[in-house]
Chains A and B, each alone.
Chain A
Amino acid sequence: MGRYLVRRIFLSLFSIFGLITATFFLLRCLPGGPFDDEVQLAPQVLAALKIQYGLDQSLLTQYTLYLKNLAEFNLGHSILYSGKSVSIVIMNALPRSFGLGAGALFFGVLIGISSGFLFFITGSQVVMRAIHFMFLSAPTLFLGPLVILVFGLWLNWFPITVSDRWASYILPLMVLTIRPAANLARLLIGGLEESLAQPWAITAKAYGFSNEKILMKFAFKQSLIPVLSYLGQSVAGILSGSLLVEIIFNIGGLGSQFIESLVNRDYAVIISLTLIYGLILVISNLLFDIIIYSLDARIEKN
């Protein structure tokens, strides 16, 4: 366990470092900077701006300075919002995305696991598969507008853009929940089918365990492994929210902020957002790998 843990953490750190470096150089090598748009600036003004944002130094100096600042949690200043610090821009967007994402994760797991179990017990796996395909394939650009039209405009149950009222979060939550719920239900059913087909299930039956006990005590625990590994891969995506949902419901979250800074070449914000996305993904992968590792003794331990 110890060695595996150390190795895993080391690899995660390497990923993060690689990410920092790659993003930094990728963006600095781009043709076209943030100041050569629309209005032609006087050369003196341009030079002053470049000095103010540190763009006049060599790439290597900028890189080491960036690393140093990062170590001190100083993310620099946004160019788009005239010098507002990046941490403020991000702290505005982060809670909205995270709040919605956490809600979607909670309801996704709740609905997914319970409905999967229900479908399995009632033996309607085929129905489940059809539903799963439908929800899995439904593009957010179809579901989002549909939900807005049906529940927001025609039935007039919920507000259609996000405000301070809790009811306004229901529609985006609905759209965000559907896919993880469908996937989890499907994986749980697959896992249950697979584990019940294995020899130990027959042995357990031969020993006289009741069907319920085999299902609940043994099969359920085993079928959690595909469920958890799916969650491990997708929890970061669910948590950081969906870009389209943010645009459709007018939520100023991470995703819409990212697109905006991409279009405007707001270096500092792009890099910081990229890093945050990367951090969320790497950390959640690490956590879930450790959980799965401690749950399943059969994973090869090298």
Chain B
Amino acid sequence: MKSIFYFSVIFLTALGLSIGLVQLLFPESNWQTNVQIAMQSPSFAHIFGTDSLGRDLFLRTVHGAQMTLMMGCVCSLFSFFIGVIYGGISAWLGKLTDQVMMRLMEVLMSLPQLVTIGLLVIFLANRGGGVSGLTGIFKLAFAISLGSWMSFARLTRNLVLKEKALLYVEAAVAVGSTPFRIFWREIGPNLAPSLMIMFGLQIPNFLLFESLLSFTGLGIQPPLSSWGLLLQEGWKSMIAYPHVLLFPSLILFLTVFSLNVIFEQLRRKVLRKFEPIDTHH
């Protein structure tokens, strides 16, 4: 397990470094199209081969990583905020409010996530494929987050309910702290580790959602580039030129894998300290 963990760390570091280097040394505006070397298989000159316009596939993959990784983090951040606020309010007010808020959430959860996100993308992005430009990306991220904040809300609610019953919270209420202060200064620090790890564990899901939506044409639109778009392009020529699909999807796979391994390891290491009773993991 240790070697897998190190592999993941090294892979993600390498990916991050390549993103930075490609951005510095080979900015997109400098890319040459050369149809004579289109669809070449991997070689030393082009380690991932070339695409239908003769561009280097490695550069394109690393470039697409920017958008996909950014979407992953932004979506996770959005759903984090929505979920934590919703779950926190629900647990803090309790009673009828809690009941109503939870039932409403269950209505949202009675649909597969993809169906909810699909409906929201259409609703927010107006016409079928209207996600372009910065506001388009923002809308897409918002649609994805609106369809997936529920796991954050559930976790926050459970954690806050547990903390609320403890004496230090009662003491804070007794000395007249405002709910905001109690959340920020008293309860918040105790929830932080669990929420942070949840935040990390959700990122891979969002990477997959982005690629899926872009692959089906509902997500990021062409002049921009992302892994989902690369995969869509590769899918069209997969039978004749498998490398155009296989390399980007392999990188997507390894990224998701590494993130899962790292945050799962963190969860096992960090949360054990906070839950000393639960020793068998």
Chain A contact residues, CB within 8 Å of chain B: 11, 14-16, 18-19, 22-23, 26-27, 30-32, 126, 129-130, 133-134, 136-139, 141-142, 145-146, 148-149, 153, 193-194, 197, 236-237, 240, 243-244, 247-248, 255, 258-259, 262-265, 270, 273-274, 277-278, 281-282, 285
Q: Are B119 and A138 in contact (CB under 8 A)?
A: no
- Is B4 among interface residues, defined by CB-CB distance under 8 A? yes
Give the contacting residue for A281; candidates B110, B119, B122, B245; CB below 8 A: B110
Partner of B257, one of A133, A270, A278: A133
Residues of B within 8 A of A282 (CB): 110
Q: Contact check: which of B106, B128, B260, B280 meets A137 at CB < 8 Å?
A: B260
Flag the segment in B23-31, B41-49, B82-90, B234-242 that touches A.
B234-242
B218 touches A262 (CB 8 A): yes
B143 within 8 A of A: no
A278 touches B111 (CB 8 A): yes
Stretch of B132-140, B164-172, B177-185, B204-212 on the interface side: B204-212
- Contact of B252 with A by CB under 8 A: yes
Contact B110–A136 (Cβ < 8 Å): no
* A30 pairs with B242, CB closer than 8 A: no
Q: Which residue of A lies closest to B114 (CB)?
A: A243
Taking each of B119, B238, B256, B261, which has the highest tally of chain A beta carbons within 10 Å of its own beta carbon? B119
Residues of A within 8 A of B235 (CB): 145, 248
A26 — which chain B residues lie within 8 A by C-beta? 119, 123
Task: Determine whether B127 belongs to the interface, using a CB cutoff of 8 Å to chain A.
Answer: yes
Return chain B residues, CB-CB under 8 Å to A243.
114, 212, 216
Nearest B residue (CB) for A263: B128
Write 23 A-B pairs (CB below 8 A) sorted by A numbering. A11-B106, A26-B119, A30-B123, A133-B264, A137-B253, A137-B256, A138-B256, A139-B253, A145-B235, A145-B245, A153-B239, A240-B112, A243-B216, A244-B215, A247-B215, A248-B235, A259-B216, A270-B119, A273-B115, A274-B111, A274-B115, A277-B115, A281-B110
**In whole angstroms, what is the CA distance A273 to B211 when docked?**
23
Q: Are B122 and A145 in contact (CB under 8 A)?
A: no
Q: Provide the residues of chain A in CB contact with B246, threshold 8 Å.
A: 142, 145-146, 149
B107 lies within 8 A of A19 (CB): yes
Q: Could you say which residues of chain B place their CB within 8 Å of the CB of A15?
A: 103, 106-107, 110
Q: Which residue of B lies closest to A197 (CB)?
A: B280
- Mark out the residues of chain B between 112 and 149 whose CB falls within 8 Å of any chain A CB in the assembled complex: 112, 114-115, 118-119, 122-123, 126-129
A236 to B109, CA, bound (A): 12
> Which of B218, B252, B279 is the one whose CB lies under 8 Å from A141?
B252
How many A-B pairs have beta carbons closer than 8 Å: the answer is 122
Q: How far is the CB of A212 from chain B (nearest CB, A)?
A: 21
* Interface status of B250 (Cβ within 8 A of chain A): yes
Which residues of chain A are near B212, meaning CB under 8 Å? 141, 243-244
**Known A137-B260, A281-B112: A129·B119 in contact at CB below 8 Å:** no
Q: Is the CB–CB distance between B252 and A142 below 8 Å?
A: yes
Contacts of B115 in A (CB 8 A): 258, 273-274, 277
A262 with B122: CB separation less than 8 A? yes
Flag if A141 contacts B211 (CB, 8 Å). Answer: yes
In the complex, whether B175 has a CB less than 8 A from a CB of chain A is: no
The reply to whether A142 and B119 contact each other, CB–CB distance below 8 Å, is no
Q: Is B93 interfacial (CB 8 A cutoff)?
A: no
Question: When the two chains form their complex, are residues A130 and B1 in contact, meaning their CB atoms are under 8 A apart?
Answer: yes
Inside 8 A of B252's CB, which chain A residues have their CB?
139, 141-142
Question: Bound complex: CA of A16 vs CA of B260, how far in Å?
Answer: 34
Q: In whole angstroms, what is the CA distance A236 to B111 when docked?
A: 9
Indicate whether A281 sits within 8 Å of B242 (C-beta atoms), given known contacts A26-B119, A197-B280, A262-B218.
no
Contact status B249-A264, CB under 8 Å: no
CB contacts (< 8 Å) of A248 on chain B: these are 235
Cβ of B91 < 8 Å from any Cβ of A?
Answer: no
Chain B residues with CB below 8 A from A130, complex form: 1, 4
B192 touches A (CB below 8 Å): no
B128 & A145 in contact (Cβ 8 Å cutoff): no
Decide yes or no whether B96 CB sits under 8 A from chain A.
no
**Residue B217 lies at the interface, judged by CB distance under 8 Å to chain A:** yes
Is B153 on the interface with A (CB-CB < 8 A)?
no
In the assembled complex, the CB of B44 is this many whole angstroms from the nearest CB of chain A, namely 23
Shortest CB–CB separation between residue A154 and chain B, in angstroms?
10
B231 close to A (CB within 8 Å)? yes
> Which residue on chain A has the smallest CB distance to residue B212?
A244
Using A19-B111, A130-B1, A133-B4 as known contacts, say yes or no to A138 and B218 having CB atoms under 8 A apart. no
Q: Does B104 contact A (CB under 8 A)?
A: yes
> Given A26-B119, A138-B253, A262-B128, does the pair A129, B208 have CB atoms closer than 8 Å?
no
CB neighbours (8 Å) of B261 from chain A are 133
